[in-house]
Amino acid sequence: AIQLTQSPSSLSTSVGDRVTITCRASQGISSDLAWYQQKPGKPPKLLIYGASSLESGVPSRFSGSGSGTDFTLTISSLQPEDFATYYCQHFKSYPLTFGGGTKVEIK
Amino acid sequence: EVQVVESGGGLVQPGGSLRLSCVASGFTFSSYWMTWVRQAPGKGLEWVANINPDGSDKHYGDSVKGRFTISRDNAKNSLFVQMNSLRAEDTAVYYCARERVRPERFDSWGQGTLVTVSS
């Protein structure tokens, strides 16, 4: 199975900061990667698919990049509602897997 | 509005069985892949299984293969997962989600249903 390693596992940051989360795949997955945001007690919400396509309705401060094995999710200017846990997921082959998550906390 | 609503969760003893359901609305259910994802308490997301639009193609995660069976009833806009030989480690919130293709992503999620496996 393809493993996805996210880093960092958590980070403390402030409103207005630029945040970058990385996701590394154990083998090449082309651009078959999605990013999700999850808040406590809520289901995940799709942010990015195809590594860099922004889901409809998601603010433009979110962006994704990368291909092959290395991917990033960037939040250009963190807003109060962005404090959450973020997950990457690949669709290259079965079984589908998620990264371990990155918790973004208030400093 | 696209909506998926899960049901059927509850407390079950180890070795027992449970069937979860997911009812979809707001889209043409029979045209979409559907998937189950679970999340153990305080843990990350784990993909469980998915099924193609006509139910002829199914895939499973390694931890549930041979114990769980995904199915669907397009006439009733419903998705199911039959869970047998349940273990304590199957305790989780189970989410139903719509799967889009090319490129793939899970774009609409339900609120989840909690399954607790305990004696």
Q: B73-91: string of b/e by CB count within 10 Å (b at 16+)?
A: ebeebbbbbebeebeeebb
- Give dist(CA A87, CA A101) in Å, integer: 5
Q: Residues, chain A, total?
A: 107
For residues B10 and B12, give the distance between their C-alpha atoms in angstroms, rounded to a whole number: 6
The answer to whether B45 contacts A36, with C-beta atoms less than 8 Å apart, is: yes
Contact between A43 and B111 using a beta-carbon 8 Å cutoff: yes
Chain A closest CA to B94's CA: distance in Å? Answer: 10
- Chain B CA closest to residue A103: B44
Structure confidence at residue A63 (pLDDT): 98
Rounded CA-CA distance B18/B68 in Å is 10
- CA neighbours within 13 Å on the CB side: how many for A92? 22
Q: In a structure prediction context, what are the per-residue pLDDT tens digits for chain B, which is 119 residues long?
A: 999 999 999 999 999 999 999 999 999 999 999 999 999 999 999 999 999 999 999 999 999 999 999 999 999 999 999 999 999 999 999 999 999 999 999 999 999 999 999 99
Burial of B102 (0-12, 13-18, 19+ CB in 10 A): exposed
Cβ-count burial A79-99 (b if 16+ within 10 Å, e if not): eeebebbbbbbbbbeebbbbb
pLDDT for B71: 98
Structure confidence by residue, pLDDT tens digits, A11-35: 999 999 999 999 999 999 999 999 9
In whole angstroms, what is the distance from residue A30 CA to residue A91 CA? 10
A-chain residues within 8 Å CB-CB of B104?
A: 32, 34, 49, 91
- Band (pLDDT 50/70/90 cuts) for residue A85 is very high
Residues in chain B whose beta carbon is closer than 8 A to a beta carbon of chain A?
37, 44-47, 50, 59-62, 95, 97, 100, 103-107, 109-112
Kindly state the tokens that stand for A102.
């990155």
Residues of A with CB below 8 A from B59's CB? Answer: 94-95
E strands, B26-86, are 33-39, 45-51, 58-60, 68-73, 78-83
| Inter-chain residue contact A95 with B106, CB threshold 8 Å | no
Sorting pLDDT into bands at 50, 70 and 90, what band is A107? confident
Quote the minimal CA–CA distance from B109 to chain A in Å: 6
